[in-house]
């Protein structure tokens, strides 16, 4: 899956921040005014995002309005699940800085650390 | 034939017996990079010994003296000579070559799959993280909203370090830098490749050697990255961050049995052992090279005895016409 470019990321950002579905014109107004963008550019990108499944759309009058397919948190949670290797298929492709452990072991670890930190 | 048996014995020794005493070695903790190489050398030696054993079963010893071109001709002859002859030597040879081929293909395939699947998953992960996460000053780091401190790196052509929002909020800046240094060390040393090869071999052949090697390598890459980070950061910062992240509360399925590893790492960060000195390192590297090349020695030693004798390649039946 080719990574999305900065404009796609900005558009998704705005889509998540908004409390309602946005038309292309709405989106244009919200995008950083410093970067004047062509209507057609934004329209094309939103169309692509829809095709890729990031945005859902419906017709309102003559135009489309777009909203995110999933809340941002859902994506973040899914990414974290993958990183935490949930539903292990044992192809651990992401390596955590430290693997998390059950509470009993956690207590032992914290105790060990405070012992070390107290040592001269 | 004798060579084939010797090689097979070496392979069996390495694959099934060697890991048990070897995993009690303590020196890898003092030189984790070399430790990783050691397990790789053992795995390579075992694979080569197994494959060469199969090939050697097809080739009468003296014919190997002709080197690679001879080997090729032997292979071709074994498969193409008429099947009219029920020569037990040839049957053994056929079996040997087939097994050798299967072993090599299976190992290559499994490692290749591991690399490919890993790479494509990581690419997709980063692609989504770039949209969903937030970037700060450091282009390497993406912050994802998550209410427990979790940090991990995603190696690949566009490597990233993912830091959860809770980690960014909880860890003081000096601890966060230490962790980033640890993750950068993973990325620089291409530990993703090291792990893919180790995991691939276990998938292909879940034998004691590859299982132990994978477990050890998983552990040793963390120690290696800890050491790299400790060169420029206070070890205590790394240890504190380690505990903060390791004690994060995550879903039950995500809990690893890694308690022992984290404990060992904290102890090691607090009291680093004496690093291995130069002479010891060189000696170890020489030993590893010997181990890795040992199958060629075992397979080749009998050849030295007959190298240079003028022998024709076998026309049939394994007997050699001198000339």
Dihedral pair phi/psi, residue B78, rounded to 5°: -55, -40
Chain A nearest-CA distance from B76, in A, is 38
- Please tell me the distance from the alpha carbon of residue B80 to that of residue B83, in angstroms, as a whole number: 8
User: Which has more confidence, A35 or B185?
Assistant: B185
Contact at CB, A109 and B267, closer than 8 angstroms: no
Chain A interface test: which of B128, B157, B186, B220 (most A C-beta within 10 Å) = B128
Chain B nearest-CA distance from A15, in A, is 12
Strand, coil or helix: B109? helix
pLDDT tier for residue A34 given thresholds of 50, 70 and 90: low
Show which of residues 175-234 on chain B sit within 8 Å of chain A, judged by CB atoms. Answer: 179, 182-183, 186, 191-192, 195, 199, 221
Other beta carbons within 10 angstroms of residue A76's beta carbon come to 21
Other beta carbons within 10 angstroms of residue B281's beta carbon come to 15
Q: Is B159 on the interface with A (CB under 8 A)?
A: no
Mean predicted lDDT score pLDDT of chain A: 84
Contact at CB, B255 and A106, closer than 8 angstroms: no
In this prediction, residues A16-40 reach a mean pLDDT of 85
Chain B nearest-CA distance from A80, in A, is 8
Q: How far apart, in Å, do the first and last CA atoms of chain B sit? A: 22
Note the pLDDT of residue B312.
39
Contact at CB, A100 and B150, closer than 8 angstroms: yes
Q: How far is CA B231 from CA B172, B178, B192, B225, in A?
A: 19, 10, 22, 10
Structure tokens at B107: 């190992």
Cβ atoms of residues A47 and A32 within 8 Å? no
**Residues of chain B under the 50 pLDDT cut:** 63, 303, 305-323
- Name the DSSP letter for residue B317: T
Q: Which among B148, B44, B111, B300 is positioned nearest to A91, based on CA atoms?
A: B111
Show which of residues 78-97 on chain A sit within 8 Å of chain B, judged by CB atoms. Answer: 78-88, 90-97
Cβ atoms of residues B162 and B144 within 8 Å? yes
Q: Which of A8, A95, A105 sits opposite B131 (nearest CB)?
A: A8
Show which of residues 2-61 on chain A sit within 8 Å of chain B, judged by CB atoms. Answer: 2-4, 8-9, 12, 54
Strand order in B151-154's β-sheet?
A: A95-96, B151-154, B160-164, B141-144, B134-135
Share above pLDDT 90 across residues of chain B, in percent, rounded to a whole number = 55
pLDDT, tens digit, for every residue of A42-98?
Answer: 999 999 999 999 999 999 998 999 999 999 999 998 898 888 876 555 566 778 888
pTM for this entry: 0.84
Contact at CB, A98 and B262, closer than 8 angstroms: yes
Q: Which of A54, A82, A97 sits opposite B245 (nearest CB)?
A: A97
Torsion angle of alpha carbons B52, B54, B59, B60, nearest 10°? Answer: 90
């Amino acid at each position: 899956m080719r990574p999305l470019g900065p404009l796609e990321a900005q558009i998704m950002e705005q889509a998540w921040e908004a409390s309602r579905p946005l038309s292309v014109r709405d989106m244009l107004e919200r995008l950083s005014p410093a970067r004047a963008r062509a209507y057609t550019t934004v329209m094309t990108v939103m169309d692509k995002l829809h095709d890729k499944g990031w945005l859902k759309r419906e017709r309102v009058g003559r135009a489309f309005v777009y909203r995110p397919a999933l809340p941002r948190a859902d994506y973040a949670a899914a990414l974290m699940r993958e990183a935490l290797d949930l539903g292990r298929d044992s192809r651990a492709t992401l390596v955590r800085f430290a693997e998390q452990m059950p509470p009993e072991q956690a207590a032992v670890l914290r105790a060990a650390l405070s012992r070390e930190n107290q040592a001269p | 034939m004798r060579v084939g048996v010797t090689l097979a014995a070496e392979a069996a020794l390495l694959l099934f017996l060697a890991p048990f005493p070897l995993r009690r070695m303590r020196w890898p903790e003092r030189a984790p990079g070399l430790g990783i190489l050691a397990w790789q050398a053992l795995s390579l030696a075992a694979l080569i010994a197994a494959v060469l054993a199969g090939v050697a079963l097809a080739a009468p010893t003296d014919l190997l003296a002709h080197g690679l071109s001879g080997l090729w001709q032997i292979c071709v002859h074994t498969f193409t000579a008429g099947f009219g002859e029920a020569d037990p030597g040839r049957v053994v040879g056929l079996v040997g070559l087939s097994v050798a081929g299967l072993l090599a293909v299976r190992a290559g395939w499994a490692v290749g799959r591991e690399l490919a699947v890993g790479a494509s998953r990581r690419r997709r992960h980063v692609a989504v993280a770039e949209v969903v996460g937030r970037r700060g000053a450091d282009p390497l780091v993406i912050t994802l909203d998550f209410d427990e401190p979790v940090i991990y790196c995603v190696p690949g052509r566009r490597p990233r370090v993912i830091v959860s929002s809770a980690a960014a909020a909880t860890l003081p800046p000096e601890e966060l830098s230490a962790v980033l240094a640890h993750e950068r060390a993973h990325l620089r040393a291409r530990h993703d490749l090291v792990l893919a090869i180790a995991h691939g071999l276990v998938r292909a052949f879940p034998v004691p050697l590859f299982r132990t090697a994978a477990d050890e390598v998983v552990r040793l890459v963390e120690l290696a990255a800890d050491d790299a980070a400790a060169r420029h950061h206070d070890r205590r910062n790394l240890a504190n961050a380690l505990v903060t992240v390791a004690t994060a509360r995550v879903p039950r399925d995500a809990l690893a049995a890694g308690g022992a590893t984290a404990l060992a790492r904290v102890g090691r960060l607090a009291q680093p052992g004496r690093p291995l000195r130069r002479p010891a390192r060189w000696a170890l590297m020489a030993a590893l090279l010997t181990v890795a090349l040992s199958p060629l020695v075992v397979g080749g030693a009998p050849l030295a005895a007959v190298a240079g004798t003028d022998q024709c390649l076998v026309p049939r039946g394994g007997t050699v016409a001198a000339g």
